Amino acid sequence: MTTATGRRFRPAPFLARRGRAAVAPDPGTLQLRRVLLASEGRPIPASAVDFAVRLAKGGGGGVHVFSVARVWGSGLGLPNPGLMPSKGEWDAQRALVAEAVAALKRAGVDASGHVLATRKAAKRIVDEAERLGCGAIVMSADPPRNALLADLMWSQEPQRVARRSPLPVYLVPVG
């Protein structure tokens, strides 16, 4: 189905809207071909990996692990090499993704992964999920904060993903 501008329209049949927040459907009812296990740079806990395994095995699909190496900004509106992720930051994110992919493969799930650098992690995570044809996004998350302060905190990126995504987003509590 296409819109008047010729873009492909993808309805979001799995989301039930309640206010501004989206409520993700019961994971047991989903048959997903692909799940995105995403991180905004924090370590991916075993509980998030286990949840992604459960979602993927329910539909017989695979999991793609995606992590963001944070770009710290721009200087005078221009990209500045000093603000890009360092080699150590890239290596740390690659290690997180490799560890999660290994855990998924041990659980018997087809898994792959990659790392990208961006300033806008929520937008990039949602774009990657749509590009890869994922049916759901799984992220580990801190408890939600005050709405005024949350926009200033990098740790609230999973909540921004949940607000922005047309796909079901499952936030697995950290801890």
CA angle 123, 130, 59 (to 5 degrees): 130
Q: Which two tokens stand for residue 144?
A: 């939600």
Give the integer Cα–Cα distance in Å for 158 and 156. Answer: 6
* pTM metric for this prediction: 0.79
Q: Where residue 148 falls among pLDDT bands split at 50, 70, 90?
A: low
Q: Is residue 143 exposed (0-12), middle (13-18) or buried (19+ Cβ within 10 Å)?
A: exposed
Q: Provide CB contacts within 8 A for 172, sequence distance 6+.
A: 45, 47, 48, 51, 138, 139, 140, 141
pLDDT tens digit string along 65-123?
A: 999 998 876 666 666 667 788 888 999 999 999 999 999 999 999 999 999 988 888 99
Instruction: Note the CATH architecture for domain 33-173.
Output: 3-Layer(aba) Sandwich (3.40)
Q: Where residue 12 falls among pLDDT bands split at 50, 70, 90?
A: very low
Q: Which two tokens stand for residue 167?
A: 């796909």
